[in-house]
Chain A
Amino acid sequence: MQQQAEHIQSAHCENGVVVNLLRDHGLAFMNEPLAFGIGSGLFYIHLPVLKLNNGPAITFRTMPGAIFKRSCRLLDVDYVSRRFSQPAAAEAYLDKLLEQGRRVGCQVGVFNLSYLPVEYRFHFNAHNIVVLGKEQGVYRISDTVMEAPVTLSAPELLKARYAQGLYAPKGHVYYVDAASRREKTDEALLQKAVQRGIKRNVRDMLYIPGAFAGVSGIKYTGKKIEKWREQLGLKKAGRYLGHIVRMQEEIGTGGGGFRFLYAAFLEQAADLLQSEKLSLASDDFTRAGDLWRQSAVLMAGVFKGRHTGQERFNEIAALFYEISDIEKQGFQRLAKVKWKEGK
């Protein structure tokens, strides 16, 4: 068995962990876009009323933890996932796994991670890392958004694993079950997994009921933005836009609110399944990603106080409408793909 590299860098933390764990499990073909696509990672929801860190509750991706679960299920890999009420038990369990030579995925809060720049350490609890080993009370860790592996002392890691607030990890650990390892993964399984990943994503984005989720959710946000200047005043509106920019572009998204990542996945899927429609859809999402970035530039203009007129808000909203249409078109293309019948 060939030892897989201990550390890989990825754009999004959870994808990176999935790739790291699955490669180690013998699925050497895994890469980040594949993990993201098979796990149906793309999503959009703008929850009305609810506020997060004094900003609108918007997300560009699916629930934390879902990408790992779906990828494993579709690739026929068994996994174990556990949380603990007692921190001591969580630490002992992790140490036992590391002694067996496993790599373990761990959900942590960002606030207490000393290797990240202070500016990024908000109370955000859905960060994922791979713990590689423990030597003399110090954990070797592969945080996939970092260029190089890092270390954390035992108390530091425990504190991060018991971060509090929304999505509190409660010592959450997960790993793949070595018993489900197979000698060879067949092409058919991968094709099937990719198809099912896409199908699920089409369902999540096109057919989810309600006006504030999926592609129609992007329009919903656009409509809100048009009114923000009047409703909230310039200061608060600027703050909200800044919040959107951070959710959309900050480290961990691969830029453009995960759209480039999904486009990269569709490009691979097009090669794998020999489908013209998929590569067309890939272009759609690349364009959507570019527009997202463009909208970020406009939004920055507002909260930096350069261009703050109502017409600027309308422009941003117009971009959101356009993005919504493009993504809708992309997913409709995907919905029409005639899948080869697998077993």
Chain B
Amino acid sequence: MKKEEVPQDASALQGYTRELCYVKDEDGKFVTSLSSGWEVKAQALEHAWDEVEEQLEEARTLVRVGKRSPLYFFMKKNLMNLSILSNYSGFGRILVWFHLRPLGYRFLGAKGWARYAEAFNCSVEDLKNHKL
């Protein structure tokens, strides 16, 4: 990549930082240059978030029809999967699996609520008065 080819497209980095690139100058030597973003990358990132959005929609439906508990939605919203949630909450995977179902959800005690609230970085009230 040549120095004058460094892309300066709009990206999510705007207002935060620019990224460093290694590019060739006129003499064919490597120099560093700052880039505000590249369209192709911005699209890839956007694509990834579209997918997250899709999964959230799917999660909402599953919770509404009673196949999963609201915790399932929170898990997806925090981009977690079962094993990450298990690590953050300190519950074993089987227990988390159970809590993600409406039946297991009913068995959650004060301690359980607190643990999940901490895992999701929110308060117990937020978790209980969930908005899908």
By a beta-carbon cutoff of 8 Å, the part of chain A in contact with chain B is: 9-11, 33, 54, 111-112, 115-120, 122-123, 145-148, 164-165, 168, 238-239, 242-243, 245-246, 249-251, 254-256, 260-261, 263-264, 267, 286, 289-290, 293, 296-297, 299-300, 303-304
On whether the beta carbons of B24 and A286 are closer than 8 Å, the reply is yes
On whether the beta carbons of B79 and A300 are closer than 8 Å, the reply is no
On whether the beta carbons of A254 and B22 are closer than 8 Å, the reply is yes
On whether the beta carbons of B17 and A249 are closer than 8 Å, the reply is no
The docked-state distance in angstroms from the alpha carbon of A290 to that of B2 is 10
Minimum C-beta distance from B29 to chain A (A)? 7
Determine if B62 is an interface residue (Cβ-Cβ < 8 Å).
no
Pick the residue among A11, A33, A122, A256 that contacts B19 (CB under 8 A): A11
Pick the residue among B15, B20, B44, B84 that contacts A303 (CB under 8 A): B44
Minimum C-beta distance from B95 to chain A (A)? 16
On whether the beta carbons of A239 and B13 are closer than 8 Å, the reply is no
Q: Please indicate the chain A residues that have their CB under 8 angstroms from the CB of B16 in the complex.
A: 115-117, 146
The docked-state distance in angstroms from the alpha carbon of A147 to that of B36 is 11
The docked-state distance in angstroms from the alpha carbon of A117 to that of B34 is 18
Q: Please indicate the chain B residues that have their CB under 8 angstroms from the CB of A164 in the complex.
A: 84, 87-88
Q: Please indicate the chain B residues that have their CB under 8 angstroms from the CB of A251 in the complex.
A: 13, 19
- With A264-B30, A303-B43 known as contacts, the answer to whether A243 contacts B13 (CB < 8 A) is no
- With A120-B12, A289-B1 known as contacts, the answer to whether A165 contacts B83 (CB < 8 A) is yes
Q: Find residues 28-70 in chain B having any chain A CB closer than 8 Å to their own CB.
A: 29-30, 32, 34, 38-41, 43-45, 47-49, 51
Minimum C-beta distance from A303 to chain B (A)? 5
Q: Please indicate the chain B residues that have their CB under 8 angstroms from the CB of A254 in the complex.
A: 20-22
The docked-state distance in angstroms from the alpha carbon of A9 to that of B21 is 10
* Top 3 closest pairs, chain A to chain B, by CB: A164-B87, A119-B12, A264-B30
Pick the residue among B12, B13, B29, B47 that contacts A242 (CB under 8 A): B47
On whether the beta carbons of B41 and A249 are closer than 8 Å, the reply is yes
Pick the residue among B13, B44, B48, B83 that contacts A249 (CB under 8 A): B44
On whether the beta carbons of A119 and B21 are closer than 8 Å, the reply is no
On whether the beta carbons of A260 and B21 are closer than 8 Å, the reply is yes
Pick the residue among A147, A165, A260, A286 that contacts B84 (CB under 8 A): A165
Q: Please indicate the chain A residues that have their CB under 8 angstroms from the CB of B30 in the complex.
A: 33, 260, 263-264, 267
On whether the beta carbons of B84 and A123 are closer than 8 Å, the reply is yes
On whether the beta carbons of B87 and A168 are closer than 8 Å, the reply is yes
